[in-house]
Amino acid sequence: MIKAAWKRALLWPVRIERDIHCEFDFSQDVPDWPVPEGFSVRLGSPEDVMRIAELRLRDAGETVHAEYAERVRLGQKCFVAMWNGEVVGCDWTIFRVGYEGPVQIVLRDDEVMFQDAFIARAARGRAAHTAVHRAMLVWAKQQGYRIAYTFLGYGNGVASRAITRMGWRHNGRPRYSVVSSPMLRQFGVRHQLVLDHEPGRHPIPTGRLIRLPPFEREPWER
């Protein structure tokens, strides 16, 4: 897997990611959504979290162990999808300060952010993530949070339809764009260009044009 990821990076000189700002107002009800047959959702243990990190390395070539461990240390919550008794996916609730790659997020005390959803390849196509997502909304509403944020990949029509169905609001326009180079990362160049399309809009504080993600590593950097 590590070797394959390294080869892919050689052929990927530039990557451009655009994310859409989405909000959920907890004054509204959380829509119903059935948990798919064979699945369940729970708050993940530290062991569950590391299992997901291994699945991400296997399925996506992403090394997130250090980032996940730091989130656990900070008290961030990881909701996990279970399929026939096995951990197969997750989504995170982030409080106070978090990161979307190199983009810092700063939240108020009554706000929460959902980020970093992942479902293992073998469990995809069964609406498992939507079930996890709804469980997170229910939990956050019960905890008294006023508003939730998440960021949707621009052009991801399937995800856009799912979160719109769940009651999230967004205008469909990119909130920011991030330009990076998977090819250069193999040489240790992790700097990324952040184009902030709405400077100063909460919950993203104004930042530098060139930024470094605090944890993101490629497998060959382990």
Would the pLDDT of 218 be above 70? no
Give the span between the Cα atoms of 73 and 76, in whole angstroms.
Answer: 8
The pLDDT, as a whole number, for residue 136 is 97
Could you read off the pLDDT of 105-162 as tens digits, one per residue? 999 999 999 999 999 999 988 888 899 999 999 999 999 999 999 999 999 888 888 8
Could you read off the pLDDT of 158-177 as tens digits, one per residue? 888 889 999 999 999 999 99
Cis previous bond, 182, omega within 30: no
Would the pLDDT of 51 be above 50? yes
Residues 3 and 173: beta-carbon distance below 8 Å:
no
Give the span between the Cα atoms of 113 and 92, in whole angstroms.
Answer: 8
Share of the chain above pLDDT 90, in %: 65
The domain of 139 spans 2-221
The chain-wide mean pLDDT, for the chain, equals 89
Beta bridge pairs of residue 79: 43, 91
pTM: 0.89
Here the CATH number for the domain that contains residue 157 is 3.40.630.30
Count of domains observed in the chain: 1
